[in-house]
A and B are shown apart, each in its own frame.
Chain A
Amino acid sequence: SQQGEEDPQALSIQEGENATMNCSYKTSINNLQWYRQNSGRGLVHLILIRSNEREKHSGRLRVTLDTSKKSSSLLITASRAADTASYFCAKNRDDKIIFGKGTRLHILP
């Protein structure tokens, strides 16, 4: 079964707004990674956050991790048209990286 589930499944926002996606998981993890995928192409690695970290930043991206709630969030600030893509969280546990079903983000002009 999928171990990382994203919420919402789909999100449409106006360009310039912030987008927040959430990810929940069921069992303990070593780390959690967020990926972006454009239209059926390969996945692009965005951020890895370790289980002992609570927050990480990379440019316009901010990822938080709450191990007590078994959840993570990805915030994209000042969204752009190029941010339109599917976003996946991937839980890294026991050497396997397991993906959720993803959030489809659409940035409206």
Chain B
Amino acid sequence: DAGVTQSPTHLIKTRGQQVTLRCSPKSGHDTVSWYQQALGQGPQFIFQYYEEEERQRGNFPDRFSGHQFPNYSSELNVNALLLGDSALYLCASSLLTGGVKVNTEAFFGQGTRLTVV
């Protein structure tokens, strides 16, 4: 049973460029969340996708956008890259369950290390 997989593992981009990161959730999970983790900090919540829609969003500008596909995989897009976007980008998958949706355990991929130069 494959866990959460992310691609690519490392990426170097130039300021102003655009980048797309990809995530395949753990089998049986229907929800994907994206996080940005700067060096020495905890992961910061970017947004969450469920049923192909953005369900929750953290305090990130519109340059950060995403998509979820029918097979539950997801993409994170960042436009007009800034040096400050350099970070580890983590994808987490979970299952929203219950009448009042509550996340089950979230499982993380190994992340994509983005460097903007």
A residues with a Cβ closer than 8 A to B are 2, 30-31, 33, 35, 40-45, 48, 88, 90, 92, 94-102
Majority SS of interface residues in chain A? strand
B102 touches A88 (CB 8 A): no
B103 touches A45 (CB 8 A): no
Interface size counted on chain B using CB atoms at 8 A: 31
Q: Which 7 A-B pairs have the closest CB atoms?
A: A99-B42, A42-B110, A43-B108, A42-B108, A101-B42, A99-B43, A30-B102
On chain A, the residues within 8 Å of B105 by CB distance are 33, 45, 48
B33 at the interface (CB under 8 A from A): yes
B101 touches A95 (CB 8 A): yes
A92 touches B42 (CB 8 A): no
Residue of A nearest to B43 (CB): A99
A31 touches B102 (CB 8 A): yes
CB < 8 Å: which of A30, A94, A101 contacts B56? A94
- For the complex, give the distance between the alpha carbons of A30 and B58 in Å: 18
- For the complex, give the distance between the alpha carbons of A102 and B35 in Å: 15
